[in-house]
Amino acid sequence: MKFFIDTANLAEIQEAYDLGVLDGVTTNPSLMAKEGISGDEQVIAHYKAICDIVDDKVSAEVISTDFEGMIREGKELAKLDDKIVVKIPMIKEGVKAIKYLHSEGIRTNCTLIFSAGQALLAAKAGATYVSPFIGRLDDISFDGLELIEQIVHIYRTYDYTTEVLAASIRHTMHLIKCAEIGADVATCPLKVITGLLNHPLTDKGLAQFLADHAKAAGK
């Protein structure tokens, strides 16, 4: 399973990368705004800064919602760095744009997926990744993990190469369950990734080891 970090914060991206488990980054206009990044020049410079940290797979989202606009932005983003994956919304014009960009050899991430039907369309159009938002589905009393399981089953049945990128992950159990179900990728905040480190028995065991060592050493 690949781990992506869902942020535009350079320090968090660097920390996740230094941990040695980071496979990519997902961003969106909301995350950029959270970091105070605005205007085309700042956004482009920030994407480049992210690409300088990680090895590959930086999802950069288009703003346009029309076919021509998404193609224009998608090509511009792809030119920034070979690591860029163009993030396209799940709308009719977006599916068309995914098909076109795929034909041009440009990787895409179809975002705002909330149904298996949407995921099926994206895969048929040639999306590299689809991003089902499980936390947002949970918010409206729908089982987001059930959707991940459904999409994984469909893709494996028909041998689609599109990878399932579980998004809107809120906590470590979301992440673990996605791994059990077979999601190819999970994108989440840094605290969810580092949360996997924690277990009270680990802390207790380490404290005991250190105490025993100190006692044996006469300290």
Does the active-site annotation cover 87?
Answer: yes
Query: For residues 185 and 163, what is the distance between their CA atoms, to the nearest angstrom?
Result: 7
Supply 187's token pair.
């994108």
Query: Angle CA(161)–CA(71)–CA(148) in degrees, nearest 5?
Result: 35
Q: Rounded to the nearest 5°, which phi and psi values hold at 127?
A: -60, 140
E-assigned strand segments in 1-158: 2-6, 24-26, 58-61, 84-89, 108-113, 129-132
Catalytic residue, candidates 34, 87, 96, 191: 87
Closest CA to 4 of 189, 210, 201: 189
Measured distance CA(55)–CA(25) in Å, rounded: 10
Question: 4 has which bridge partners?
Answer: 24, 187
Provide the terminal-to-terminal Cα distance of the chain, rounded to the nearest Å: 44
Please list the active-site residues: 87
